[in-house]
Amino acid sequence: MERTSKQKLAFSLFMFGTIGIFVRHIPLPSSVIAVARGVIGTLFLLLYLRRKRQSLSVADIRRNGRLLLLSGVCIGVNWILLFEAYRHTTVAIATLCYYMAPVFVILASAFLFREKLTPLKGLCLAGALLGMLLVSGVLQNGFAASSDATGILLGLGAAALYASVILLNKYLKDISAMDATIVQLGASAVVLFPYILITENLSAMALSPAAAVLLATVGILHTGITYVLYFGSMQVLKAQTVALYSYIDPLVAILLSALLLKEPLGAVGIVGAVLILGSTLLSEASEGRRS
């Protein structure tokens, strides 16, 4: 049982690491891709529940309605920023920026939940921030001169919003992860749909068969199927195991960025990547031991 769950978790995280490659080749605005992902993912998860003869808990959803709506909006905007980051910098750098989310959570938790900022956490924060500076190229070229500046800011913005989702989820009470995810995905699509109606000319958009397949893959495989596998494995595995496996995602993204898109990080970038991922891994591992 545990071995199967680990395989499911590893596969889901591997697929999360490939999403940047797919998004890069979809010729649609990031906001449209985000809404499509939310709609397709929501429908897939609802069909999954129906096939399992399970249903959403209306009472649980109502009790957490405002938080689910707010976190859903954060998820939607977070996707838009992340997808835009993929277009303005390398997939590897965008992914590493996104993995600054745990750093933002640690900083926010110190203020919101009065969680003690231990020396180890402080060291991890410093390591992650130094890694971010190395990856961004700021220390070598200066921020204004960096060709990746826009992508880096978008990636960090996405990380901040994802951190907000993590923090908001701490306030959810008595609701399953699947129910919460379905409502959040649906809310992200519903709230962002008026935005794309105002900002985009949908009638003028053309989607080739190949692009349609890529978009469907992002919605069905990268959202629906991977979420089912991810949350299913989380119910069996320890939180520390899930945290350790989560680093499959950025490692896959970095490798594919170099191999398929010819976007290598370079020696300094690799050192920065090790600092970011190593620092967040150490912080999460220490949390797992303490809990």
Mean pLDDT of 13-24: 94
pLDDT in tens, 43-85: 999 999 999 899 999 999 999 999 999 999 999 999 999 999 9
Say how far apart CA 38 and CA 61 lie, in whole Å.
18
Q: Which amino acid is at 87?
A: R
pLDDT of residue 144: 54
**pLDDT band (50, 70, 90) for residue 110:** confident
Say if residue 240's pLDDT is above 80: no
- What pTM was computed for the model? 0.88
Mean pLDDT of 14-35: 94
Say if residue 243's pLDDT is above 60: yes
pLDDT of residue 73: 94
Asked if residue 56 lies in contact with residue 262, where contact means CB atoms within 8 angstroms, the answer is no
> Distance of alpha carbon 72 from its chain centroid, rounded?
13
Say how far apart CA 165 and CA 181 lie, in whole Å.
11
Say if residue 200's pLDDT is above 60: yes
3-state secondary structure of 78: helix
